[in-house]
Amino acid sequence: MKKISHPTLDDVAHEAGVGTTTVSRVINGGDRVSPKTLARVLQVIERLGYRPNQAARILKGHRARTVGLVIPNIADPFFASCAEAAYAVARANDSLLIVTATHNDLDTELENLDVLLSHRTDGLLIAPANPQSKALRDVLNRIAIPVVAIDRPVPNAIASVVVDNYSAAHAATQHLTAHGYKRIACLTGGETMLYTIRERTRGYRRAVEAAGFPCILDTSVNDYRSVESAITNLLAEKHPPQALFTLKNSITIHAFEALQKLNVPVPSVLALLGFDDFELASTLRPSISVVQQPIDEIGRVAAELLFNRLLDGSHAGNAAHSRRTQLVKLKTRLIERRSCGCVPGTGRT
């Protein structure tokens, strides 16, 4: 038999000695096809290596069996873990996950969305570059497929899966005050308009104010040099801080490196607690206390929510109110290690 590079439905029908309608029925589940004919057609499909024309199937109303994931950075451990969890859910639902990165650029994000929508993807998972963007909201309000936001909710527009950033930051700050630290500096970067950073900042501020302590907030840090400069300036003050609360794992890592370079003992001179766990945090000396997010769960729950909406048809219609704007908040864990002053395994703080 001559090998066919891209076998068609007609090729399968001819080889199996049946009509194209019968082949189509086999592809779509074998309804009203005799077991003998079903077995013969499947054998020919396997031998020829036939794959249905997905574009044609979509035009006929079939699902594309693809979902898009739009994230800021594929290399970011947080979003990489979310992607892995979402991929597992997509695969369990016989779908392909297509991942694109925006690098927090709105124009790139809109381009990525346009490409995904042009391929008629069944649904979208997105961690928006700017959840407040009118252009983004216009796109989300116009499309008629289910969309779920990860980590960064789009207000009153789509369902979102986040962690309770406010409560987590509030509890972490209270943990530091319970150690007796009265001057707790909070370091964060230039993404202060992001929901996650706003909520963490709010939790920190509320905790220190409730304790009657000063709010020492530095929002200027974004790389090692700026973190080292911020810590140097804080330690040079007349009343330096006794503890640092860092709102991103990259800032936590930079802070630890700067403290080591500056020969500042941790936690005896300056305690350290970071938001987000990271690889090696438990093996550093001292080990780093962190707020641990359920990252895999975030990706899994978001993907499950997307497929639930896809399968129950709750996205039908081209109107924003046809989507339930559910906000799912997941709990975090405070991992007590030595950098905040705890002695793990002894029950003593």
CATH assignment of the domain containing 150: 3.40.50.2300
pLDDT in tens, 251-285: 999 999 999 999 999 999 999 999 999 989 999 99
Is residue 1 in a domain?
A: no
3-state percent breakdown (helix, strand, coil) of the chain, nearest 5? 45, 15, 40
Mean pLDDT of the chain: 88
Same domain for 278 and 193: yes
Query: By mean pLDDT, which of 25-39, 59-73, 184-198, 253-267 is the weakest?
Result: 59-73
Residues 228 and 194 in one domain: yes
Domain total for the chain?
A: 3
Would you give the DSSP letter of residue 285?
A: S
Comparing 14 with 261, which gets the higher pLDDT?
Answer: 261
In a domain, 61, yes or no: no
**Residue 4's pLDDT is what?**
54
Going by DSSP bridges, is the β-strand pair 216-218/271-275 parallel, antiparallel, or unpaired? unpaired
Is the confidence at residue 126, as pLDDT, over 70?
yes
59 within domain boundaries: no
Tokens at residue 100, please?
């694109």
Q: What percent of the chain has pLDDT over 70?
A: 89
CATH of the domain at 15: 1.10.260.40
What pLDDT score does 47 carry?
Answer: 81
DSSP label at residue 287: P
Query: Within a domain: residue 279?
Result: yes
pLDDT band at 52 (very low <50, low <70, confident <90, very high): low
Say whether both 152 and 196 belong to one domain.
Answer: no
Residue 53's pLDDT is 56
Which of 150, 165, 217 lies closest to 188 in space, CA to CA? 217
* pLDDT at residue 120 in the model: 79
* Arithmetic mean of pLDDT, 314-337: 71
226 found inside a domain: yes
Q: For residue 243, what is the DSSP state?
A: E
- 185 shares its domain with 273: yes
Chain position carrying tokens 């979208």:
124
Question: In DSSP terms, which residues pair with 96 in a beta bridge?
Answer: 66
- Which domain, by its residues, includes 189? 165-293+334-340
pLDDT at residue 280 in the model: 92
pLDDT at 42: 87
299 and 159: one domain?
A: yes
Same domain flag for 241 and 266: yes
In-domain check, residue 3? no
170: nearest Cα among 273, 268, 69: 273
In-domain check, residue 321: yes
CA 289 to mean position of chain CA atoms: 22
Tokens of 320: 């924003």
Verify that 71 and 46 share a domain, yes or no.
Answer: no
Amino acid at 193: M
Distance, in Å, from the CA atom of 74 to the CA atom of 80, rounded to the nearest integer, reads 6
209 Rama sector, left if φ>0, alpha if ψ -120 to 50, beta otherwise? alpha
Instruction: Say which residues have a Cβ less than 8 Å from residue 121's Cβ, sequence separation at least 6.
Output: 64, 66, 67, 68, 98, 145
Whether residues 149 and 172 share a domain: the answer is: no
pLDDT of residue 10: 83
Weakest-pLDDT range from 4-13, 90-99, 161-170, 272-281:
4-13
What pLDDT score was predicted for residue 220? Answer: 92
Is the domain of 265 the same as that of 302? no
- Residue 188 shares a structural domain with residue 263: yes
Check pLDDT > 80 for residue 341. yes
Residue ranges of E strands in 31-91: 66-71
Of 175-184, 269-278, 305-314, 324-333, the one with minimum mean pLDDT is 305-314
Q: Which two tokens stand for residue 137?
A: 């909201």
Percent share of the chain, pLDDT over 90: 62
